[in-house]
Amino acid sequence: MKKTFCTCCFLLLIAGIVPLIAAQSWTPNGPLPRFEHTAVFDPSTRQMIVYGGYSSSNSMQNPLGDIWRLLPSASLAGVQNWVALHPGGTAPAPRASHFAGYDPGSNRMVVFGGATAIGCVNETWVLTNPNGNGGPSAWSQLSPLGGPPAPRVFVGGAYDPVSNTLMVYGGNNCTTVLSDYWVLSHANGQGGPPTWTELFPSGGPGPRNSQTAVYDPTSNELIFFGGGSPGTIFNDVWVLTNANGTAGTPVWNQLSPVGGPPATRVNSTATYDPVSNRMTIFGGYNGSSIPYGDTWVLANANGTGGTPAWTQIAQASTDYPAPREAHTAVYDASRNVMIVFGGAVATQPIFVINDVFFLSNANGQ
C-alpha cells in the first residue's frame, strides 16, 4: 500500500501540432530514482535543479537531501549531463513533499515545508547559487516574522520573483487537509525581513492537497487544478486573483472549461506559458488505479481572453513517458518545452524511476 500524506491518496491531435516526446540519456552517476521531490528551472542557463524526495517506498522514513543540476544539451535529443551540487552552510534535514521556488534575478531557491524523518515541518530555507554560477552555493534558514503557517506537505504553491513573494495554499499537516492561504514577503531573504501574512480570499475550493498550481505573473493570478480532500479527488480549475496580496484582497473564481475534462487526479504536474495563457498538465493518480500518462492543455487558463478549453495532446511517437505520479515538471519558455523527471510509475508496490523526458510544443502551439 502506498504510504503518502495525501488523504485520498479517443486521443485528440491538436490541428497542425505534432509534439515530440523523447526520452533522454545522461551521463552516469545521476540522481537516484525518486518521487515527491521538487524541481525548479533557471531560464538563464536552461538548467533543471532537483532537490529531495523519496527513493523508494522503503525510504519513506529517510527522505533524500541531495541536489542535482541537469545541464542542457544543444538539442533535445542530445545527452543530458547531471551534476551534483554540494552546498555549504548548515543543510536542512532531508525532506520530501515540500515546495520549492526559484528566483532567477538573485539565483536563489526557496524551500518551504515538507516531510522529514520526524514528520511535517514549516521551515523556510534559501539556497544561494543553485545553478552553479555566481560563487559557492550555501544553505541558510530564514526566520520569518508573522505566522508561521502550520507544518504541511503537498501544498499548492508558487513563487513570484517580481514581488519576491512565496504563496502557499492548503496542503496537509500530516493528519488534516488544510484550506488556509499564506504569503511570505521577501521570500528569498533579501530586500527586507521575510514576513508571513495569512490572507482570507472569498469563496474557494475548500480543504485541498496534492493539487497543481501555476502562477501568471502578468495578471497576478494563481491557477489550480485537481487535488484531493477527504474522500474526494477533483478535476476542477480555480483561479485566485490578487494572489501575491499586493493589489487587493485575493478572490477565488471557479472556471468552467469546455472540452475534456481530464479525469480526476492528485499528484500530477502542471506548467504554464504566460505568453499564450496556456497550462499543460501531465500524469497523476486517481487513488484506485495505475497512474495516468495523459497530457492536456488548458487554453485561456486564467479565464480571460476567451472560453477556457481543454484539449488532449496525442502522443506523437512510441517513445513517451510511462504513466506516473509524484513526478516533477518544469517549463523552458525559450524552447516551449516541458521537462519531466522521475516519479512513481506503479503504486502497489511503489516503483520509482529517474528518467527524463522532453515535451516539445508544450503549450499546444
Confidence band of 287 (pLDDT split at 50, 70, 90): confident
- Residue 329 has a pLDDT of 98
Of residues 221 and 9, more confidence is placed in: 221
Look at residue 275 and tell me whether its pLDDT is greater than 90.
yes
Pairing of strands 119-128, 108-116: antiparallel
Q: What angle do CA 322, 328, 330 make, to 5 degrees?
A: 110
| Mean pLDDT computed over every residue of the chain | 91
pTM (global) more than 0.85:
yes
Give per-residue pLDDT as tens, 129-184. 999 999 999 999 999 999 999 999 999 999 999 999 999 999 999 999 999 999 99
Torsion sign across C-alpha atoms 80, 81, 87, 92: positive
pLDDT of residue 22: 55
pLDDT at 10 over 60: no
Res. 122 pLDDT band, cuts 50 70 90: very high
Q: What percent of the chain has pLDDT over 70?
A: 90
The Cβ of residue 248 has, within 10 Å, a number of other Cβ atoms equal to: 9
Cell numbers for 29:
552517476
Domains in the chain, start-ordered, CATH in brackets? 21-360 (2.120.10.80)
* Residues whose CB is less than 8 angstroms from the CB of residue 294 and which lie 6 or more positions away in sequence, other chains included: 262, 263, 282, 283, 312
CB 306 within 8 A of CB 3: no
DSSP character for 174? S
- Cβ neighbour number for residue 202 with a 10 Å cutoff: 9
- Give dist(CA 96, CA 125) in Å, integer: 14
Return the amino acid letter for 334. S
* 207 contact partners, CB below 8 Å, separation of at least 6: 170, 176, 177, 178, 179, 229, 230
Instruction: Classify residue 269 by burial, with Cβ atoms within 10 Å: 0-12, 13-18, 19+.
Output: buried
